Amino acid sequence: MRITHVQSSFVASLGGAESYVLALASEQARRGDEVEILTAWTDPDTVERARRAGVAVRVRATYRPYRPDQHGAGTAAKIAFHALDVLGTLGPATWMPEEARSDAVVHVHRFQGVGAQVLRARHGAVVHTAHDYCLVDTTSTSIRDGHEPARLGGVQRLRARANWLAAQRASILVFPSERALARHHALGMPAEGVEQRVVPHGWPAPAVSPAHIETGGRTRPRFVFLGKLQATKGIDLLLRAWEQADIDAELVVAGDGPERPTIERAAATGRITYAGWVDAQQKADLIASATALVFPSLWPETFGLVIAESLLMRCPVIATPQAAGAFVRDGENGLVTTDATPGSLARALRRLAHDATLREGLARGAAASAAALDFGRHVDRVQAVYADARGIFARAR
């Protein structure tokens, strides 16, 4: 099968959605499919990384005031960026005419930055995975002032309607969780008009460097945060909770992003350890060394990739209710705070730091959760979606 993955930006360091695209494309190529990633922005190192996995990366340039994985320099730039995306929903899908054909599948992951017109199944089956809330929200999180509003503003609703003109022409829309699908419906996305399915993500089990495998057990608890350093990931919440917890333990923060100066200031005082941006191997080694992963995200995560990686490595997770999703089950494979406040997160940190029996039990629970994340079975489910999408397109045609 010929498969074209559309990811508007594919630039190191890869975020969660980009990492998923590369993992999925690599496994499909290993199984014998002809796979490529179509993008508007990439870099030589990422292209080479994909090439080594048997996946071609092709660039199709498009104009935007800034890359989709960046933030606009001002209000005018942001308006222009999103206006160009909306205008794209009204015109023909000219960005990839030769990719969508009857014997192929186009799998769209991120359309912001190239326009929602890529969702239209004009010449072949198109599958769209909603990794976040781009269909209904320009910020991708559906969060306002730290809360999940039941209704977004008028401009957002008009933009969502324009997106729907293209999205309802796709063959199948895929959502990583029931919560993500329900949130889209709550914000106005129609439940009818196009096939909509929940296909939970899986993830390949990370490989740990032999030198970093713990043999004697860690006596001093170590908590690890891994992710993009941005406000919606709960950076401020984490630092305030760590201060309140007042425990004899270590907090290691790894990642990069706009909140990096805040983390660097905290590291300069000795309160935490900042590991900077880490590659896949370094990330696996950090998880292997951790008592627990701390994931204090403030927005309703569709799929927490780092949660999956942690559970696959028997590492419990401390998460806010917004971040926990369906994977983190309180008292079974991690701890879910009562709310997204410093006090609640501090109590969870103290509880795990002081209770060795709890830590052991949650580690066993994390290991038991790994089966649901098996990546091979996930790819099988995705391939079944492709087959159904091709059938849907053929019947519609």
Predicted local confidence at residue 335, as pLDDT = 98
Beta strands in the chain (DSSP E): 2-7, 9-10, 34-39, 41-42, 56-59, 104-110, 125-129, 172-175, 195-198, 222-226, 250-254, 273-276, 292-295, 317-319, 334-336
Q: Distance between CA 285 and CA 205 in Å, rounded?
A: 12
User: What is the per-residue pLDDT for 397?
Assistant: 77
User: DSSP state, 144?
Assistant: B
CA distance 95 to 97: 6
- Tokens representing 92 are 């023909």
Q: Check residue 368 and give its pLDDT.
A: 92
pLDDT at 216: 42
Closest C-alpha to 230, from 357, 317, 140, 128? 140
Smallest CA-to-CA distance from 201 within 372, 19, 384, 365 is with 372
Residue 303: the pLDDT is: 80
pLDDT at 196: 98
Q: What is the pLDDT of residue 99?
A: 57
Tell me the residue type at 153. G
User: How many CA atoms are closer than 13 Å to the CA of 256, on its beta-carbon side?
Assistant: 10
Query: Please, what are the averages of pLDDT over each run of 10 residues along the chain (397 residues)?
Result: 95 89 97 96 97 96 88 84 85 60 86 91 92 93 86 94 93 94 95 95 79 56 94 95 97 95 96 93 93 93 87 95 89 96 97 96 93 92 97 90
Q: Chain-centre distance of CA 289, in angstroms?
A: 23
Cα 382 to Cα 4: distance, rounded to the nearest angstrom: 14
| Backbone φ, ψ for residue 127 (5° rounding) | -110, 135
The contacts of residue 141 (CB under 8 Å, 6+ apart) are 132, 133, 232, 299, 300
